[in-house]
Amino acid sequence: MEGCSNKVSRDSHPMDSIINVGKNTIGGNKITIIASPCSVESEDQIVNIAESVKLSGATFLRGGAFKPRTSPYSFQGLGEPALELLKIAREKTGLPIVTELMSLAYLARFIDEMDIIQIGARNMQNYPLLKELGRTNKPILLKRGISATIEELLMSAEYIISEGNEKVILCERGIRTFEKYTRNTLDLSAVPILKRLSHLPVIVDPSHASGLWWLVEPLSKAAIAAGADGVIMEVHNNPTKAKCDGEQSITPNKFDKLMKSLRAIANIENKEL
């Protein structure tokens, strides 16, 4: 990857890429904080969480409408109605929306109505989907597959960029290892490596990586200290009743406190939050 002419490579684009989404900016000296209940459950829930994370300084709202689940019998998200609820939350808070696309069937709607399209770990090598996204002008949040190498993640980003869309944000979210205490093993080395090899912004998802809410705080701080451009984390006003992934969600109160710590570390790194 070093010394090569791929469009994701820093050699082809020495300056950091900065991606504008509405009034927000991702990359450069800005720290992006994407707060999210794992899945959108109701208008009350999503608006409530959105309002509280906005007050604490979140810059984006993520919410799952379509949820890829290992079992066909697990809750798979509210689907299209969730998109409507996310739009209501955006209207009330001004937070732009990130949500996951699993199928080309919804692409047009996502382009029209959502702000950032997330491609989940399971679809990181769904090349027909990546190519199609490369023909749009929409910012894409591309998550690393649970067993993808750093180079494979970059080559998947290349699938998007090679078709013309340069607005790709990379996301480290844990890799599969033998260690069982955490759901996956967050690979923070990936952050400085991706920043060295590529010009794209890199954010970190400690919630999905660890699966444990009490690891979100130390790992978020570590991510910013390692040079990440942002963090995406699960926040839920009632984690024990969350329809999925409650165990990895922090409360709005903890989120507020964490934002202060992250701001202090961001300042050391000469970044703004």
231 binds its own copies (CB under 8 A): no
Using the contact rule CB under 8 A, the part of the chain among 84-92, 187-195, 229-237, 238-246 near its own copies is: 187-195
Distance CA 45, CA 52 (A): 11
**Structural tokens at position 157:** 């980003």
Distance CA 39, CA 239 (A): 12
Judged by CB, which is closer to its own copies: 61, or 223?
Answer: 223
Q: Which of 55, 91, 127, 257 binds its own copies (CB under 8 A)?
A: 127
Judged by CB, which is closer to its own copies: 85, or 223?
Answer: 223
8 A C-beta contact, residue 145 and residue 119:
no
Q: How many residues does the chain have?
A: 273
Distance CA 34, CA 31 (A): 10
Helix (H, G, I), strand (E, B) or coil at 14: coil
Judged by CB, which is closer to its own copies: 45, or 126?
Answer: 126
Binding-residue pattern over the window 66 to 105 for its own copies, x denoting contact by CB under 8 A: --xxxxxx----------------------------xxxx
Q: Please, which residues bridge with residue 250 across strands? A: 235
Give the H/E segment covering residue 168: strand 168-172
Instruction: State the minimum distance, in angstroms, from the CB of residue 91 to its own copies.
Output: 29
Q: Which residues of 17-45 are buried (b: 16+ CB within 10 A; e: fewer)?
A: bebebeebbbbeebbbbbbbbbbbbeeeb
250 binds its own copies (CB under 8 A): no
257 binds its own copies (CB under 8 A): no
Q: Which amino acid is residue 167, in one-letter code?
A: K
Instruction: State the minimum distance, in angstroms, from the CB of residue 214 to its own copies.
Output: 7
Using the contact rule CB under 8 A, the part of the chain among 77-85, 107-115, 208-216, 235-243 near its own copies is: 208-216
Judged by CB, which is closer to its own copies: 96, or 145?
Answer: 145
Q: Within 7-66, which residues bind its own copies (CB under 8 A)?
A: none
Distance CA 59, CA 47 (A): 15
203 binds its own copies (CB under 8 A): no
259 binds its own copies (CB under 8 A): no
137 binds its own copies (CB under 8 A): no
Name the nearest CA neighbour of 119 among 26, 205, 2. 205
Using the contact rule CB under 8 A, the part of the chain among 22-30, 57-65, 148-156, 164-172 near its own copies is: 148-156
200 binds its own copies (CB under 8 A): no
Residue 55: other Cβ atoms inside 10 A: 13
Distance CA 117, CA 267 (A): 29
126 binds its own copies (CB under 8 A): yes
Residues forming contacts to its own copies in the complex (CB under 8 A) are 68-73, 102-105, 122-123, 125-128, 131, 145-147, 149-152, 155, 158-159, 162, 175-182, 185-193, 196, 209-210, 214-215, 218-219, 221-227, 261, 264-265, 268
